Structure 1
Amino acid sequence: MMKPTTNPTAPDHDGDVRAGRAVQYDKLYAARARTDLVARLYAEAMGEDHPAEIAASSSCDWPLLGLATARLRLAPGQLLVDAGCGTGGVGLWLARATGARLQGFDLSPIAVAQAAARCPHFLPAGPERAVFRVAELEDTGLPTGCAHGVVCVDALGHAGDRGAALRELARLLAPGGRLVVTRALRRGAQPGWHEQVDAAGLHEEHVDERPGEPAMWERLYGLWIDHADQLRTELGPGPAERMLHEAHQVLPTLRGRRAVLLTLRRPPTGPAGPGRAVTMAAPKEPDARPAAPERILP
């Protein structure tokens, strides 16, 4: 959210940063729409786990779609919010699979336009099933308690304030609603999200391990580096160099990465109290390397 200032004429530094990020994302999404090269590299890296219809610039694979469907427990007609939706594939697939209505938002206007254009492919019944808008994780502009489910794939790690973003997504949930969100940390490290979850008034319902996610990124980043010249030719030097910078920066950290899907729930009645998931424990092997960033693209 925009922070108030005591000087109304002071420059909006946070706003400038967000605008700059939006421009970078716009360039990436526009470039990727001109060629199928990046989609083909994702398909090669994911193999049989690649859900081609999704066309996501994220770690979304078939196992993640299955987990998200099961954990959200949406009923037909309920509202699903896709936070940091990118080009919309994840939210549209889930809305079709569950019969839910969809509200998606992203920082990139180009991504939002691409997502809206994909609606008829997934939900041909009419535009009332899915709406996309430009918004931020920390300030969605959506009504309090409007959503029965929220999905956030590889986007929360790019919020300027993760705690504020999580509180904002929690605000959207109706009593009993669930948020499923991907997170990453070092193997053997204690999760740092417990306090943020408690502060958001949510309960950790499930922690599902995603053991194949780090290896997928390792394969994908290797492919990006191997196809560097082709990426520069087909995407242009700016978007290609941004992708290659990400690959070189993150690749050395992946052997120390633990990836999970968190399911967080708004209690059906009354205020939320601190709660912990009862599912899968973290691996115990220590690793001193830092966790990889969760993604550049939302």
Structure 2
Amino acid sequence: MNTEHATAVAPLAPGTTRSSQYDAFHAARARTDLVARLYAEAMGEDYPAEVAASSSCDWPLLGLMAARLRMSPGQLLVDAGCGTGGIGLWLARALAVRLDGFDLSPVAVAQAAARRSHFLAARADRAVFRVAELENTGLPTAHAHGIVCVDALGRAADRGAALRELGRALTPGGRLLVTRALRRGAEPAWHQQVAAAGLAQEHLDERPQEPAVWERLYRLWIAHGDDLRRELGQAAAEAMLHEAHQVLPTLPRRRAVLLTLRRLPRTPDSPETAARMAELSHPPGRPASIERTPQ
């Protein structure tokens, strides 16, 4: 589950890896359509069934990301924390770009690779998927023309380091799109992280429907707890139910956004670039404060 607020999950058992819980979830989900049916019920007509993401990705978000990326055919898109690959593959097809997707879970990466021909047909070789972490992507510097990171940044051990790593991989002028969440009424605390990554905030798009979607989905998970245990297995189901019970009470205070961040063409060491980043990332008169998220 690569949701940003999926950090409210059961503690890892001794001897397990960071990817173990995600491996179990994706392996279990591949055996049944129950989880997909619950996502579809929660999202209604906004559910992109072909994408089948384990995140808050809906039709409005897909359209918004395609518009905000402003990519040209043949450029390289990175899907950071790609899960089973549906978001990146949909965008790669829609924008006629190449795709490099990575995720913490080897099981999810294998499933993503298996989906390439469905989305890209004869051009399946234009997409690659591999195991990597947000803080250590393995991408060359100034390599990607666009990066999307949907509901995954909250899983990073160090969000600032993850943003710096993703920013490093962007070409000058390239854009990084990140879904973020904070407590309603609080000022975001990502301005300094954005500037430190050599990025500038270009757009901040509100996603007012997102908290209600998660509320409906979590209530469905709880209502279908026995079905989840039977079809996914005890461990995967209990992890989902733990997340639902932990995050559900926080949703009325949740504000969800899509951040569009741009790599500036000059080096971040330049004084005028630093001043420009500060101006774009933290508008005058808006004091910084602690970011509050359900994580």
Using structure 2 for the length normalisation, give the TM-score. Answer: 0.88
What does residue range 63-102 of structure 1 map to in structure 2 within 5 Å? 63-102=60-99
- SS of equivalent residue, structure 1 residue 69: helix
- Asked if 1 retains the 8 angstrom alpha-carbon contact of 2:191 and 2:282, the reply is no
Shift in Å, 1:17: 9.4
Deviations 1:35-75 (A, max 9, x none): 00000000000001100000100000001001100100011
Amino acid across the alignment from 2:230: T
Give the unaligned 5+ runs of structure 2.
1-12
Aligned to 2:227: 230
Q: Distance in 1 between matches of 2:217 and 2:292?
A: 19
Aligned to 1:13: none
Give % identity: 72
Aligned to 2:6: none
Question: Structure 1 residue 196 and structure 2 residue 193: aligned?
Answer: yes
Q: Distance in 2 between matches of 1:278 and 1:199?
A: 12
Question: Structure 1 residue 291 and structure 2 residue 293: aligned?
Answer: yes
- Asked if 2 retains the 8 angstrom alpha-carbon contact of 1:253 and 1:290, the reply is no
Shift in Å, 1:127: 3.3
CA separation of 1:66 and 1:18: change in aligned 2, threshold 3 A: farther
Q: Distance in 2 between matches of 1:20 and 1:131?
A: 24
Question: Structure 1 residue 214 and structure 2 residue 216: aligned?
Answer: no
Q: Distance in 2 between matches of 1:183 and 1:69?
A: 18
CA separation of 1:51 and 1:170: change in aligned 2, threshold 3 A: same
* More relative contact order, 1 or 2 (CA 8 Å, 6+ apart): 2
Q: Distance in 1 between matches of 2:32 and 2:267?
A: 50
Using structure 1 for the length normalisation, give the TM-score. Answer: 0.87
Shift in Å, 1:292: 1.7
For residue 276 of structure 1, the aligned residue among 256, 280, 285 is: 280
For residue 160 of structure 1, the aligned residue among 157, 162, 167 is: 157
Question: Structure 1 residue 263 and structure 2 residue 265: aligned?
Answer: no
What does residue range 17-36 of structure 1 map to in structure 2 within 5 Å? 20-36=17-33
CA separation of 1:99 and 1:172: change in aligned 2, threshold 3 A: same
Question: Structure 1 residue 104 and structure 2 residue 106: aligned?
Answer: no
Q: Distance in 2 between matches of 1:109 and 1:179?
A: 24
Amino acid across the alignment from 1:276: L
- Asked if 2 retains the 8 angstrom alpha-carbon contact of 1:45 and 1:216, the reply is yes
- SS of equivalent residue, structure 2 residue 121: coil
Q: Distance in 1 between matches of 2:14 and 2:202?
A: 34
Q: May I ask how many residue pairs the two structures share in their alignment?
A: 270
Q: Distance in 1 between matches of 2:80 and 2:148?
A: 6
CA separation of 1:291 and 1:18: change in aligned 2, threshold 3 A: farther
